[in-house]
């Protein structure tokens, strides 16, 4: 699953636990784009993305 809000990432984890799946990993991905700044370039950050992956049963 993917999310852009902390609250959505939390809801995703809670939903996975409700189905006896345990969250295996939550990763945050940060992307930046280059933008011309005078004679050079600068990086402008985009909003982070949360990636939630799960598998297995909670009692394993």
Q: What is the pLDDT of residues 7-51, one digit of tens each?
A: 999 898 888 878 866 766 788 999 999 999 999 999 999 999 999
Q: Does 3 have pLDDT greater than 60?
A: yes
> What pTM was computed for the model?
0.68
Residue predicted with more confidence, 54 or 20: 54
Contacts of residue 27, defined as CB under 8 A and 6 or more positions apart, other chains included, come to 50, 51, 53
Residue predicted with more confidence, 53 or 5: 5
């Amino acid at each position: 699953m993917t999310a852009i809000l902390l609250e959505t990432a939390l809801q995703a984890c809670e939903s996975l636990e409700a189905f006896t799946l345990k969250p295996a990993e939550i990763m945050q991905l940060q992307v930046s784009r280059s933008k011309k700044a005078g004679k050079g370039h600068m990086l402008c950050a985009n909003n982070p993305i949360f990636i939630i992956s799960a598998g297995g049963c909670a009692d394993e």
